[in-house]
Structure 1
Amino acid sequence: MNESPGVVDLLGVLAYAELSAYERMTEDAATLAPSLADRAALSELAVTEYAHFRLLRDRLGELGADPDAAMAPFVAALDAWHAQTRPADWLQALVKTYVGDGIALDFYREAARHLDPSIAKLVDEVLVDEERSQFAVERVRAGIEAEPTAAGRLALWARRLVGEALSQGQQVASARPELALLLMESLGEGQTDLSRLFASLTEAHNKRMTAMGL
């Protein structure tokens, strides 16, 4: 296997993140969606997440890595994140899909910036979230229009999501030095910690909040 452990870590954490997203969206579609149209739309997004998981799993195999072993170090952290941020209703589920998942995607995208072009292209492909973003933004805006008082509680929920996501990201980076090194390299020379990265992630989070009307 020619790729560095950091690359395998990145593809491993992404693969488990996509698998987890598929499972969570499927559950949310079945239990929280207020209409059959919403249930179908979220289920379709879940299928896309599973397709992304398969791409990552296959690439890990091509690199000579065991996909299960590559994902294993991240199972506890990502499962804890989902357990701590289980949505109570449909709008919370959509905010989590857009805001919580979005900041995680930004984190992984940053780590891939200076990788081999073929790996970077794969990461970009699996992190495309335009369809998911449009779906979540439209539904959340409609929900707030129908129930203006929902905006306050959803804003609090989003702040909790970003706090939990940044905490999990720091734990993952600290536990996997090779993955942390990819992040350091993406920051450029002179950067010795992740503070500026997390500031950038927070800025992107604020833009998503604005898009939802929060």
Structure 2
Amino acid sequence: MNESPGVADLLGVLAYAELSAFTRMTEDAATLAPTLADRTALCELAVAEYQHFRLLYDRLRELGADPERAMQPFAGALDAWHTQTSPADWLQALVKAYVGVGIALDFYREAARRLDPSIVELVDEVLTDEGRAEFAVERVRAGVAADPAVSGRLALWARRLVGEALSQGQRVAAERPELALMLVESGANDQAEISRLFAKLTEQHGKRMAALGI
């Protein structure tokens, strides 16, 4: 593999994230969706996540990497995040799909921005929203309108999602230094770069919360 050492890590963590998203969305659709229309819509989004997974899996093979080996280092952290943030109801599942997954994907997009254009293009393609935001925002806002009391509960849930996501992100960065280095420009002040990253992630999170109306 001739790419930078962190590329296999980035594509590996993204591939496992997409596979996990597919699995969790199908589970939530089956167990939490209140109507058949909601179940159908969430399953369609899950299919898009699986298609993204296949793109990443195939690119890893094209680069001469073993996809399973590339994904394995990240399975523990991502599985732990999903276990610790298992939604209790439909609205929590939607907030997780939009806010929790969203901040993780922002992180991966930042990690890719200095790579070869072909890799950047692939990452942009697999991080395409595919309607997840519109689907979640529409239903969460309707839920809050029907019962304003859920707004505070969902805001606390979103805060927990982000806290757990950032904690697991720090764990991954500590265990995979090649991936962490992709977030910092060569010769730059590491702390300043990390501060800039977290400020950008926080800004995007704030926009998502505002869109949800919570």
Normalised by the size of structure 2, how large is the TM-score? 0.97
Correspondences of 1:32-71 after superposition (within 5 Å): 32-71=32-71
Q: For structure 1, which segment, 188-197 or 50-59, has the greater mean C-alpha deviation from structure 2 after superposition?
A: 188-197
Tell me what 1:17 maps to: 17
3-state SS of paired residue (2:190): coil
Tell me what 1:159 maps to: 159
Aligned to 1:191, which of 166, 189, 192? 189
Q: How many residues align?
A: 212
Normalised by the size of structure 1, how large is the TM-score? 0.97
1:152 aligned partner, one-letter code: G
The RMSD of aligned alpha carbons is 1.0
CA distance in 2, matches of 1:113, 1:121: 10
**How many percent identity over aligned positions?**
76
The answer to whether the 8 A contact 1:166-1:198 is kept is no
Distance 1:130 1:57, change over 3 A: closer
The answer to whether the 8 A contact 1:105-1:127 is kept is yes
Correspondences of 1:42-191 after superposition (within 5 Å): 42-185=42-185, 190-191=188-189
CA distance in 2, matches of 1:192, 1:112: 17
Q: For structure 1, which segment, 2-11 or 19-28, has the greater mean C-alpha deviation from structure 2 after superposition?
A: 2-11
3-state SS of paired residue (2:113): coil
Structure 2: which 5+ runs fail to align? none
The answer to whether the 8 A contact 2:45-2:130 is kept is no
Structure 1: which 5+ runs fail to align? none
CA distance in 1, matches of 2:128, 2:4: 24
The answer to whether the 8 A contact 2:103-2:204 is kept is yes
1:84 aligned partner, one-letter code: Q
1:35 aligned partner, one-letter code: T
